[in-house]
Structure 1
């Protein structure tokens, strides 16, 4: 160990626009959030581990608050690390906070609850400024039908019908505590809170609720879809760019 450098685990809260990236996880032939953040941290500290996030967001998905942890060796303070990282990170990735945490704290395994928000722009005309951040749907959606369908998904269920074929989770049961749908003029926001999410679960649910809003399925059909435990019974997967990781809760949040 050089000088006064100390090895420690840090927690960072990241904010990013996922538009230009192939998701969170490192890939050989594409640029990812994890790669860019690790390269930035490696420039200013002696990085002793891969950065681990609370969850691996897909390509095009954004994050308002993405917790992550890493083991570093440095004499810099938490504040100094944050400022130095933001000085070298691109404009679409920002470190909002860095804090030293116990060595056994995990951004992934210590998480108790996550909140995602999906945004739909529901009008004929697209928005230049919201491009890449919303799903633009021209035909007016029936919000009451979407809300009724959504209410049937709240609670603890086997969400096999709403997970992608590539989902590796051994247990498909999740507890969805909140699924709120709010409309503000032309903008529809769907907010999901659960003890965890399966791969593409939120986007598959959104795609199914939009089918209810379009009148293609009855709201009550969602219960049948849930019970079938078959991905082909549910609606299409909504585009990634309307999805944002909003918050992650820990025991001592």
Structure 2
């Protein structure tokens, strides 16, 4: 869908709808609905329920923590009433507070799940590096008054790429089965007085991105050598790494899905670095069991729809379904070979393949092969 496509107000479809949502997290105690504090989920569900004239429950691609922002949070919901894309977007925005906004609304197949269909998630941690405190940017960056050596930060970050044990960067209360995650890339760059840590992975442990940011900032200030991060990863002791960086600098900027779902493309944020010109999903994904499984499953679902419509032979649809089942079997075996958290072998690469769960920066107990139905 082109960025400025006119909104269709004629097609009013019930069923499953996906939304692209942006929010400033400063006023909210995270994404997830809470009984004692304001949340983004609660505000969004109230707004959509008014548009639908019936209660709406949304499911997100990744639950962000208190004070964390999102530029491209993807959610889905099921609605029994027909509304147009224009109604969902414009009607939703009219009923939302000014610090939450809907970018787009599109119908999606029933097999789409904002969380379980996702292949990768991407965060950007924004640091304003200047000797005086920020004013205009104070609510969406972290301030560092000491000069940061970006070359040293990038050299250290290079040791975090791949399927590794991230015990050194998981929160004490993290309940994930395994501390291993697959970091696709992590880049540290300077743009004037802004330093950006850009990281994409299949998933993240609780506070993983902010703990990595705190450690890289300590290296950038010259408090620790580049090699320190290698030692931290080897020891796997969270208490030896730096303090967790502030939530205000963290932005959830992208979620990657199989092409079958054709979600709208957008420029990557936040606005401070929009001039870089990158759009969602432009980076190539690694060839790994989880990516192959998600892609094959989406292709099989698409083939079954084409077969039902008479556009594909039954034999080809069966072949693609078998490919998807085999890819999912290999992905499941890959996950089951991973030592559980607390297992003495969990930090030993020889003990099994690394984890590739679907947990984001605040989720705790998900597994990558959980059904999306």
What TM-score bracket applies, with the shorter chain setting the length? over 0.9
Counterparts of 1:172 and 1:47 in 2: how far apart (Å)?
40
Counterparts of 2:182 and 2:162 in 1: how far apart (Å)?
5
TM score, norm. by length of structure 2: 0.65
Counterparts of 2:169 and 2:109 in 1: how far apart (Å)?
35
**In structure 2, what is the equivalent of residue 222 of structure 1?**
229
Larger radius of gyration: 2
Counterparts of 2:13 and 2:122 in 1: how far apart (Å)?
34
Counterparts of 1:185 and 1:95 in 2: how far apart (Å)?
30
Counterparts of 2:162 and 2:54 in 1: how far apart (Å)?
41
**In structure 2, what is the equivalent of residue 201 of structure 1?**
208
Counterparts of 2:138 and 2:80 in 1: how far apart (Å)?
40
Counterparts of 1:6 and 1:211 in 2: how far apart (Å)?
52
Shift of 1:104: 2.2
Q: Which runs of 4 or more aligned residues in structure 1 lie more than 3 Å from their structure 2 counterparts after TM superposition?
A: 46-49
| Partner of residue 244 from structure 1, selected from 239, 251, 256 | 251
**In structure 1, what is the equivalent of residue 287 of structure 2?**
none
Unaligned segments of structure 1, at least 5 residues:
none
Shift of 1:7: 4.1
C-alpha distance after superposition, 1:149-174 (max 9, x if no partner): 11111111011111111212112211
Counterparts of 2:171 and 2:23 in 1: how far apart (Å)?
24
C-alpha distance after superposition, 1:187-219 (max 9, x if no partner): 101100111111111000000011111222111
Q: How many residues align?
A: 249
Counterparts of 1:10 and 1:249 in 2: how far apart (Å)?
17
Counterparts of 1:191 and 1:47 in 2: how far apart (Å)?
39
Unaligned segments of structure 2, at least 5 residues:
1-11, 263-373
Matching of residues 1-253 of structure 1 within 5 Å: 7-47=14-54, 50-252=57-259, 253=262
* Structure with the higher strand share, 1 or 2: 1
TM score, norm. by length of structure 1: 0.94
Shift of 1:221: 1.2
